[in-house]
Chain A
Amino acid sequence: QVQLQESGPGLVKPSETLSLTCAVSGYSISSGYYWVWIRQPPGKGMEWIASIYHSGSTYYNPSLKSRVTISMDTSKNQFSLKLTSVTAADTAVYYCAKLDSSSWSENSLFDSWGQGTLVTVSS
């Protein structure tokens, strides 16, 4: 069974960079599937941020693309998110998740999720 665990600072100052890591256990991320970041502001709906495949293929939400970098460290079996120039609007619970496919397509669903980590942007 695949398990995902987010980690990173719970508080980030405005204009700084938010950095999160997702540690994966139970499956080698270099073997396949897309790995994604999704966030949920308090009391609001979810927002897909970015996705990555071990080949280096990435997809980004166009609304966040200019500020987001997703990367993968297969030696540590983890993937990471960096979001620059954060504002209060970036305050959210950040989830890492796994797509059930190695093809980034509409036939796929998110079948494993981390527990989520709350990141607050405040001075």
Chain B
Amino acid sequence: SYEVTQPPSVSVSPGQTASITCSGDKLGDKYAYWYQQKPGQSPLVVIYQDTRRPSGIPERFSGSNSGNTATLTISGTQAMDEADYHCQAWDTSTVVFGGGTKLTVL
């Protein structure tokens, strides 16, 4: 079965750039999606179809996907961005999630 892998945690200083990766075999041939989940809340999509940002999501969130790795980048990270981030992809008719990455802003 298809799998995508994320680092368990990433730390970033306020105002700096955070990069969260998602790795999977030929992931670049698929679309990657990124969901933000704050404690006690439901997930919220921040990036879809690799690079697209839903309305209402700040411009500091961006995405890329090539080769075996998709990357979520947060520029000028703010304290409010501290959350778990989940990568998601499709494999034929199956939905696959990564293990999630806890982003700490310190």
Contacts and interface: CB of A to CB of B under 8 A. Distances in A.
Interface string A96-110: 000000001111011
A53 interface: no
B94 A45 contact: no
Interface stretch (B12-20, B40-48, B74-82): B40-48
Interface stretch (A9-17, A23-31, A55-63, A73-81): A55-63
B33 interface: yes
A95 B44 CA distance: 13
B95 interface: yes
B100 A46 contact: yes
Interface of B: 1, 6, 30-31, 33, 35, 42-45, 48-49, 54, 86, 88-90, 93-100
B49 A48 contact: no
A14 B88 CA distance: 30
A109 B45 contact: yes
B95 A109 contact: no
Interface string A79-95: 00000000000000001
A50 to B, nearest CB: 10
17 contacts: A44-B99, A44-B100, A45-B86, A45-B100, A48-B96, A59-B94, A95-B42, A95-B43, A104-B93, A106-B89, A109-B33, A109-B48, A109-B49, A110-B35, A110-B43, A110-B45, A113-B42
